[in-house]
Amino acid sequence: MKLSQKKHQAKSIKTRLVGSFVANIIIITLLFLVYVYIQNITINAEKVAKELKEITSTIQHIKSSKQSFLLTETINPSFYETKENVFLEKHKEGLELINQKLIDMYSNSYVQSAKVIPSLRVLDKALGKYSLTFDSLTTTQLKRGFKSYGVEGDMRRAIYSVENSGYYLDQVKILMLRRHEKDFILRKDPIYEQKLSQVVDQILSDIKKMPIDKYGKIYLTGTLEKYRDNFKNMVELDKQLGFYGHFGLKDRLQFQLNTIENQLKQIQQAMIDYDTFWKRLNIVLLIVFALSILTVNAILLFYLLSRLGKPIHQLSKSIQKIVEDDFVGELYTIKTQDEIGDLSKDFNFMIQKMNDRTEEIELQKEELATTYNKIEVIREIGAKLSKHLKVEAIVKEFYHSLNNTLEFNSFLIGIYQNNQLHYQGFRCDGQPYKFERSLSKVSHLGVQCFERQESIITNDYSNTKDLKHFLPVITSEKVNSLIYLPLTSSSKKLGVLAIQSDQFNAFSDVQINMLWSIVTYLISTLDTAINYQDMEGQVRTKTAEIDQHRQQLLKNNELLQGTLQELEVKNLQQTSSIQYAKRIQQALLPNISMLQSAFEDAFVFYRPKDIVSGDFYWFEQKGDLIYLAVADCTGHGVPGAFMSILGREILSNIVNTKMIESPAEILNQLHTRIRVVLKQDKVNNKDGMDIGFCVLDTKKNTLRFAGAHHPLYLVRKIGGLNEVEVLEGNKQSIGGHIFKKKKYEVFNEHLIDLNKQNSILSFYMTTDGYQDQFGGVEGRKYYKKNFRALMSTIANKPMYEQKSLIAMNMDDWKGEKYAQTDDVLVIGFQPQKSKNMEIDFSKLEEYLST
């Protein structure tokens, strides 16, 4: 039974040996890759474990710094004078260190595979909330004060004024006031507030009855009321800070630290479980791979011993006998269905066919002799052509050579010169041709052959679809067969060879092949002749030009050496200065952790075009209000960086001094101050900026936006689809030139009630650098349409992943061909879900009270 080719190949020795070898290689390779992979995981596990231990240790230091601050610095007068101390610095450094380590862990592949990223983000949020709570505690403590500082200091100064007023007051009641005051400070019992207020009322009643002047009564009454108000404020601030029976900032700090420690323990346990899983899997895989290698090699050894040894021995003896008998007889037939069996059959078939091949070999000798004669003819033609150094003589010699090889009506050679083909040739009766044809006449076959650098050969010209729309070189003759060959040397395009005949099938394949061989000699000879004609004049011209250029270069080289050294020194100085400016500019930008703490989630994609940038973002939080701005200053590089610093300082001054809550009013103020600072009404200064400005009220859960040439993008989820909505800003810039025909308009403002907008996924603010980047297949701008489509696609993903997708999309768009054209800044954020936070705190207070 004859096997199919696939089955026969499958039973071959080569297939089985190669299969066994490949199986061993695959198993060993897999074993090595698995070992390397698991070893890499183990190294990453140790690194992550070390990082988690350092975070745990840092949290303990933070805990210690917080406790030391509460125990010592709250009763230290120097703290209230300088508002700074070493424990606050250590506390801040610890939080920054933990935030940096968490950012590094987000990008760790091992941490991502362990699926603890959500837990890390929860831990990151908890740290942000703790940081905000600690800032609130320090602010409240500073306001509360100690002894002669803060509210307590105001209270004491008021009572001292009463005691030293010179008016006779009931000293027993005054002493009762001081006693209630001290009792509250020591015991923190709110009942003393009521007792102190009652005593104040008694003293005020006594003052009304006292026989003193009107102004004295007003002074004593006002001072006592101020004393009582300050005492009430101190009681209220102590309640906010927290004491026994009242849940305050101190208790909230402790609860948040405990939550952070528990979350960290859960992450550490998850990493330990994940590492244990990989170690166990490593042992199992090593055992499986080892058993597989042993099994494959055992099967291979059995096959070699049982299936190959005996057939090979029989085949060797049979071959030896055939050789001794001068290849007469038959080889021993081996019936195995592999290479050995095939070899015995093929050897018998070879012996049978040896005699049959004798006649074929004789015929091949005759064909070789004919081919040799043709080669000799081609060599003779090449030798005749190479004797001539003029194009006319070469064309004439080639014509005589072709008359002995081909039958044709006309033969022409077109030499390319000055955007024309200069044709010269002969008819079959010896009549010469000579004319020119411009390359602009693309309807002619000669021009097509030259431009495409492709041969055009046909034995039925009138019925060839691809050629019927083109004209032959000589249109006055009837053409049925034609050969057009491009004449191209190694360095340039020389021209076209055209041969035409009025007969069908005038040229055989053998003739065409011979023609190709002859054309090789023709191209070499024509190239030499053309170069020879042009060489002498070119040499004289080039020699004069080279001498002139050499003299000029010697003079210019001396000047350039000195200029180059000066430029190198100046370039180094300028680069160092700009690098230092970059560090200053980056230090002024808000930390991303501040944005992530203020919002539910956020990212910042910031990529300057030069060392320093004209784009900047600004962030400030005042109580329940969160301010966020994204701006694009005039220009980029150093000029843009100066404008960014000026804009940032003016924004901070407006918000911190005037406490304006309207983004439109802030932009109006910014516009006015930019024009005043740069004196744009007096000098020809057109610098300014485009900006988008948001104000988020976390208490009312509303967002207000105003913009100067910058919109606010928000993505909603409607009916399972993400839709992008654009809140446009005003079509005018901050500062800069104001045209006379177009008056300055106050900025418009958009209001979004987030309580009624549950469908919103994310908000985005951006400068125009991302949308104006050139790239893609056609080298065009990215445009706003593509940017909106990108936001719609990524809005459902976490913010850190959105940032990565935006960066990769930009790199793919511009590729390596296009450079960055402008500064790029994109910010995405999601506001805090305030309702969930209020529910959490109420449950927390209920838990602590129980």
Asked if residue 687 is part of any domain, the answer here is yes
Tell whether 11 is covered by a domain: no
pLDDT at 476: 80
What's phi and psi for 744, nearest 5 deg? -70, 135
- 366 within 8 A of 467, measured Cβ to Cβ: no
Question: Is residue 413 located within the same domain as residue 453?
Answer: yes
Quote the CA–CA distance of 828 and 465 in Å, as a whole number: 61
pLDDT at residue 742 in the model: 66
Which residues are CB-contacts of 619 (< 8 A; sequence separation ≥ 6)? 590, 594, 595, 598, 626, 627, 628, 629
Is residue 63 within 8 A of residue 257, CB to CB? The reply is yes
Are the C-beta atoms of 506 and 459 separated by less than 8 Å?
Answer: yes
What span, in angstroms and rounded, lies between the C-alpha atoms of 219 and 190? 28
In a domain, 548, yes or no: no
Assess whether 730 and 635 both reside in one domain: yes
Residue 503 falls within a domain, yes or no?
yes
* Structure tokens that stand for 217 in this block: 């009564």
User: What pLDDT is stored for residue 338 in this prediction?
Assistant: 64
Single-letter amino acid code for the residue at 494? L
Distance CA 824, CA 826 (A): 7
Domain end, chosen from 225, 246, 267, is at: 246
The token duo for 125 is 């949020």
Classify residue 632: in a domain, yes or no: yes
Q: What CATH number is given to the structural domain containing 269?
A: 1.20.120
Torsion-angle region of residue 505: left (phi > 0), alpha (psi -120 to 50) or beta? left
Residue-wise burial string across 670-701, b where 16 or more C-beta atoms lie within 10 A, e elsewhere: bbebbbeebebeeeebebbbbbbbbbbbbeeb
**pLDDT for 677:** 87
How far is 687 from 699, CA to CA, in rounded Å? 37
777 and 713 in a common domain: yes
Query: Is 519 within a domain?
Result: yes
Can you give the pLDDT at residue 332? 61
Q: Distance (Å, rounded) from C-alpha 154 to C-alpha 232?
A: 12
Amino acid present at 719: G
- The pLDDT assigned to 282 comes to 76
In this structure, the answer to whether residues 129 and 220 fall within a common structural domain is no
Residue 478 in any domain: the answer is: yes
The count of domains in the chain is 4
The answer to whether position 717 is within a domain reads yes
Say which CATH number the domain at 391 has: 3.30.450.40
Which residues of the chain are under the pLDDT cut of 70?
A: 1-14, 16, 244-245, 303-310, 313-315, 324-344, 348, 351-362, 364-365, 367-374, 536-537, 539, 562, 573-577, 581, 635-637, 737-742, 833-850
* Domain, as residue range, for 173: 147-246
Q: Is the same domain home to 669 and 816?
A: yes
d(CA 668, CA 239): 41
Residues 6+ away with beta carbon under 8 Å from 128: 593, 596, 597, 598
Tell me what pLDDT residue 517 has: 82
Q: Are residue 506 and residue 634 in the same domain, yes or no?
A: no
The CATH number linked to 172 is 1.20.1440
Sheet bearing 601-607, strands edge to edge: 601-607, 824-830, 760-766, 712-718, 721-727
Same domain, 101 and 174: no
Pull the structure tokens for residue 729: 């800003």
State the maximum Cα–Cα separation within the chain, in Å, rounded to a whole number.
Answer: 158
Regarding whether 170 and 217 lie in a shared domain, the answer is yes
Of 64, 136, 71, give the one whose Cα is nearest residue 93. 64
Nearest to 101 by CA among 53, 165, 38, 45: 53
Q: What are the φ and ψ backbone dihedral angles of 717, each rounded to 5 degrees?
A: -105, 110
> By the 8 A CB rule, do 408 and 499 touch?
yes
Q: Which of 702, 691, 699, 708 is nearest to 622 (CA)?
A: 699
pLDDT (0 to 100) of residue 531: 78
User: Are 483 and 596 members of one domain?
Assistant: no
The per-residue pLDDT for 573 is 67
Do the beta carbons of residue 44 and residue 108 sit within 8 Å? yes
Q: Which helix (H) or strand (E) holds 725?
A: strand 721-727
Q: How many CB atoms lie within 10 A of CB 294?
A: 10
Q: What is the CATH number of the domain that holds 704?
A: 3.60.40.10
Let me know whether 835 and 726 are in one domain: yes
Contact 652, 839 (CB under 8 A): no
Whether residue 684 sits in one domain with residue 612 = yes
User: CB neighbours (10 Å) of residue 200?
Assistant: 19
Are 719 and 761 contained in the same domain?
A: yes
